[in-house]
Structure 1
Amino acid sequence: MSQPSTPMPSLRNPLTLIVATTPVTSTQTGTTKRTLLGIGKNGTLPWPRIKSDMNFFARVTTRSPETKLNAMIMGRKTYYSVPKSLRPLKDRLNVVVTRDATGSVKDEVEKDVARQKEKDAEKGGDKKLPQRDALVSGGLEDALTALAQRSTGDDVENVFVIGGGEIYASSLRLSGAFGAGLRILMTRVVKKQIASGEKDDGEFDCDTFFPLSDDDLNDAEKWREASAAEVSRWVGEEVSPDWTDDGDVSIKVVGYERLS
């Protein structure tokens, strides 16, 4: 008699891709136009530093019950894009997905954790020290399985995917327990003139794009756009349905939930 298979562990809450994008018009065959979602240029962001969105990202990814941590899954390049003095980012479980899961990347991540813990201890005194934790995995599903096991043990609360493009694409190909109800928390970024309806001076130049276009997200059989009130419940703070200005750009936070 065959033994019953062990059920696959699942995450406590739906997997959430958190990303900032800007619309880029692409002309395909003939005059057909498609709106792509740009996320990068030359290995960095295509728009000026947006302090309000960076603060929003930090609040959302760190907000969890006191006894738990949120996890952030990222590729090697995304991890290395964080200044060395800040990585791994505090008060979150940093999960680095790389083919070099047992070699130099793992060694460097472990050294980063040890260095930050030593620095925190030196200046801590009576202060509550930041939580520092990171792990390295050879694949996205392996990382999610490890996090699901920790979630079952009341250790991990929310799991976010923060980039880059290959990790986003792999996440969107997930099926089964990890892919069910997958969410996208997206900060849309445009030049201020576009949002206000005035004449604009063009789009941001991008060479890296989110795997989905606006056309894909508008497919009502596959994706549902959440209301601002619903997104507010996702993130634990009020999210405005309107565009807001920050320097030379305007931003708006939107959410999507996968239906199939």
Structure 2
Amino acid sequence: MDLAIELKRRLNTKPILLMTHLVLGYPSLAVNREMIAQMAANGVDCIELQIPFSEPIADGPVILKASQQSLEAGIKVEDCFRFGQEMAAEFPSVRFLFMTYYNIVFKYGEEAFLRRTKEIGFWGTIIPDLPPEEGATYLATSEDLGLAPIQFFTPTSTDERMREVAALAKGFMYCVARRGVTGKQTTFDDSLATYLTRCRKATDLPLAVGFGISSRDDVAMLQGKADMAVIGTATIKLVDAQGPEAVGPFIAGLLG
């Protein structure tokens, strides 16, 4: 099934969807497995699994540190594929996507990477450092395989740019809530509401909002303005502070 259709179907019974994010291999694949199990049990709709890269330019210090430690521990792209295949098979209610940087995809081989992603049961990819103008073969191959190549709106995008990017997107639009890198708190004010209204006018794809979403209040503020809240850095901080067993109650509380 097309990812956009699937997400819209879920929105018939939920006020807003949740997408979570974790860095593969941090602090270990065993902990990743426990985190995913708790996320799935508490109704997370999508999970983006980040394949670590040495220069994650869109990520803040928490995810940067997680990526560095995972790489230092020896995580390989092949480990990520094998683990992803296990998770997609074990948790069929979750729509999994890979998030990484284009250097990883390029080195692996673009077509081979995307074909493998499809074969293991994933629904799409998120590659923040690949502008659509430079991703013609990536977009075409994703289309051929039925994968969603997730594209981005940002607060600095013009209305024309939004329409151009949306025309190349599948699955959903990732709406970056503010300028900068991941992890900093986002202020929910009139400017964010105006931005999301612009996003809505530019596409009929579901809107996922990320960068700084960390609490039940944040998620509640997005209801009616967006279709999916993206929780990333907050979960990693929680696991660092309280262990993976804290993930389930945290996710449950976001919508409770």
Question: Is TM > 0.5 for Structure 1 vs Structure 2?
Answer: no
- Which structure shows the bigger proportion of residues in strand conformation? 1
Classify the TM-score, shorter chain: 0.3 to 0.5
| TM-score where L is the length of structure 2 | 0.37
| TM-score where L is the length of structure 1 | 0.36
- Which structure shows the bigger proportion of residues in helix conformation? 2
